[in-house]
Amino acid sequence: MRPVTTILVPLDFSEASHAALRYACRLAEPLRASLHVLHVVPPAGMPSGYVEAYVAAPEVQERLEADGQQLLSDALTPEEQARYHVALIQRTGTPATEILRYVTDHRDIDLIVIATHGRGGATRLMMGSVADRLVRAAPCPVLTLREPMDACRAAEHAA
């Protein structure tokens, strides 16, 4: 087993994903690992009830990407970005596909830390789960946090 030197944290800006980022920071500190924080912007548009799909105007996609870039930049303070040698990455596409593509393209990723949203039953069956797909297909270990806020609190008390 190789040491963990680079941790990837997919960020969708939910409270759970921010908590997973905090947890990854706590993991990175003693390991002196760097963090890659990745946000995937889904393509703008809405599937319709027919074969056709609504394709949003280019300005809508540009706005989504600009907003995502700003939220990504604000996820950690400049001091934290320096301390954890953070790489902020944004891609456009299907989240699980883009995350896996990033990990494949960057073989130095040793660990993925991701929050799960705890969906079950029909919702999970219909929507799938990014975390589930990563666990099955990622070439590196994936740490999933079902209750990332509780995990962060436990890590704070252990420190």
Q: What is residue 158's predicted lDDT score, i.e. its pLDDT?
A: 59
Neighbours of 111 (CB within 10 A): 20
Give the right CATH number for 6-158 from 3.60.15.10, 1.20.950.20, 3.40.50.620, 3.40.50.1000: 3.40.50.620
pLDDT of residue 138: 95
As beta bridge partners, residue 102 has none
pLDDT of residue 124: 45
Contact assessment for residue 68 and residue 98, using Cβ atoms and an 8 Å cutoff = no
Q: What dihedral do alpha carbons 96, 57, 14, 87 form, nearest 10°?
A: 60
Q: What is residue 121's predicted lDDT score, i.e. its pLDDT?
A: 47
